[in-house]
Amino acid sequence: MINKDKIKNICIFGIGGIGGVFGGKIANNIFKTNDSEHKVYFIARGEHLKKIKKDGLILNLPSKKGLVCIPQDAEDSILNIPTPDLCFLCVKGYDLDNALEEISKNVKKDTIIIPLLNGVDIYERIRKKLKDCTVLPSCVYIGAHIEKHGEVSQDSENALIISGRDPMNPNIDLEELKELLIKMEIKYEFKKDSFLDIWEKYLFIASFGLVTAYSGKSFGGVIDDSELRRLTEGVINEILQIAGSKGIKLPDGIGINTINKAKNFPYNTKTSYQRDVENKKLKNEGDLFGATILRLGVETGVDTKITENIYNKILNSKD
């Protein structure tokens, strides 16, 4: 096994819903256990940052509301904190490149990066910028949002990080990381290969994200509409073909399981991409879903006409 320096400095890059929950938990646990060994630093922006610097981050968990979580420091740039031993990367996909440009200036060979953002090509995108550190391919299952400046809420009990070994650094000893996450009360599942989990999650969020944004219908509305359900199944099939072309062997029956998964949500559930399109936000997850599927289709020779048609109509609806 390759040994690494002890984890001391922890950076939460992006204090939105996801970063706020995990960063808040870490800060709270450091405080309540009088832990002098670890320090956590928040990277945030604007009024959200100002409020956190003034009053700490207010974290609402399902089991307890109003936790005041005070990091060692909160800054608008990773250049203003000590080089992290562990970095949770919690930005949206459209902010990833800018985040990586900044992180690349304050990272070391032994830094562990855990990316907690959606997408099937996140690891590859990170590796184009960060060559030497350890990057654990990851996905996260959580419902969380910014309540208001300086306050974040976790929507349900489930908050799980799934990570796998770094293909470029497979022999790194991760026992200390696992022990740290247990200590910080973060649910964490480690797998030798996490790419199956990443693709399985993407299959769901991309297909329903695109069709809900295209139609304006909720999960329940998509399931109940035979044409919208057919389109969702079409997007799922295109992603499955791309995955197969890339050597990702997803389980049999995962297509119908993906459709059925939506039935477990409340009928009126909307996707974040859908809400962003409805609110005509200039920054949204369109590139993460539509544009990425089209790019991967070209790379693998898979016909992605269904996704292309849906995505083009979403883009045209913003004009």
* pLDDT tens figures, 141-163: 998 889 999 999 998 788 999 99
- pLDDT given for residue 319 in this prediction: 55
SS3 sequence of the chain: CECCCCCCEEEEECCCHHHHHHHHHHHHHHHHCCCCCCEEEEECCHHHHHHHHHHCEEEECCCCCCEEECCCEEECCHHHCCCCCEEEECCCHHHHHHHHHHHCCCCCCCCEEEECCCCCCHHHHHHHHCCCCEECCEEEEEEEEEEECCEEEEEEEEEEEEEECCCCCCCECCHHHHHHHHHCCCEEEEECCCHHHHHHHHHHHHHHHHHHHHHCCCHHHHHHCHHHHHHHHHHHHHHHHHHHHCCCCCCCCHHHHHHHHHCCCCCCCCCHHHHHHHCCCCCCCHHHHHHHHHHHHHHHCCCCHHHHHHHHHHHHHCC
The answer to whether residue 258 sits within a structural domain is yes
Residue carrying the six token digits 């090509």: 121
CA atoms within 13 A on the CB side of 264: 6
pLDDT band at 222 (very low <50, low <70, confident <90, very high): very high
Report pTM: 0.91
Q: Are 174 and 80 within one domain?
A: yes
CATH code, 253 = 1.10.1040.10
pLDDT band at 203 (very low <50, low <70, confident <90, very high): very high
- Amino acid at the residue 163: S
- pLDDT given for residue 23 in this prediction: 98
Q: Are 33 and 107 within one domain?
A: yes
Average pLDDT of the chain?
94
Q: Are 123 and 177 within one domain?
A: yes
In whole angstroms, give the CA distance from residue 201 to residue 236.
11
Q: Is the pLDDT of residue 318 over 90?
A: no
The answer to whether residue 245 sits within a structural domain is yes
The answer to whether residue 204 sits within a structural domain is yes
Q: Is the pLDDT of residue 282 over 90?
A: no
Residue carrying the six token digits 């359900």: 229
Single out the residue in 140, 169, 193 at which a domain terminates. 193
Total count of domains within the chain: 2
Calculate the CA dihedral of residues 116, 209, 124, 12 and round it to 10 degrees. Answer: -20
What percent of the chain lies above the pLDDT cut of 70?
98
Q: Are 188 and 200 within one domain?
A: no
- pLDDT given for residue 1 in this prediction: 39
Q: Are 181 and 207 within one domain?
A: no
Q: Are 174 and 278 within one domain?
A: no
For the chain, how many residues are written? 319
28-77 per-position pLDDT tens digit: 999 999 999 999 999 999 999 999 999 999 999 998 999 999 999 999 99
Give the residue-averaged pLDDT of 105-125: 96
- pLDDT given for residue 5 in this prediction: 56
Q: Is the pLDDT of residue 260 over 70?
A: yes
Q: Are 158 and 209 within one domain?
A: no
Q: Is the pLDDT of residue 283 over 50?
A: yes
The answer to whether residue 2 sits within a structural domain is no
Q: Are 107 and 223 within one domain?
A: no
CATH code, 108 = 3.40.50.720
Residue carrying the six token digits 């650094």: 169
Q: Is the pLDDT of residue 293 over 60?
A: yes
The answer to whether 242 touches 301, Cβ cutoff 8 Å, is: no
- pLDDT given for residue 2 in this prediction: 41
- pLDDT given for residue 4 in this prediction: 47
State the residue range of the domain holding 279. Answer: 196-317
Q: Are 247 and 308 within one domain?
A: yes
The answer to whether residue 4 sits within a structural domain is no
Token pair, residue 84, equals 């992290």
Q: Are 120 and 180 within one domain?
A: yes
Token pair, residue 270, equals 């909307």
Q: Are 185 and 307 within one domain?
A: no
Give the residue-averaged pLDDT of 86-96: 95
Single out the residue in 162, 193, 224 at which a domain terminates. 193
CA atoms within 13 A on the CB side of 59: 26
The answer to whether residue 1 sits within a structural domain is no
Give the residue-averaged pLDDT of 210-214: 97
Single out the residue in 178, 193, 208 at which a domain terminates. 193
What percent of the chain lies above the pLDDT cut of 90?
88
The answer to whether residue 3 sits within a structural domain is no
Question: Of 3-7, 171-175, 236-240, which range is least confident?
Answer: 3-7
Q: Are 220 and 138 within one domain?
A: no
Token pair, residue 49, equals 């940052």
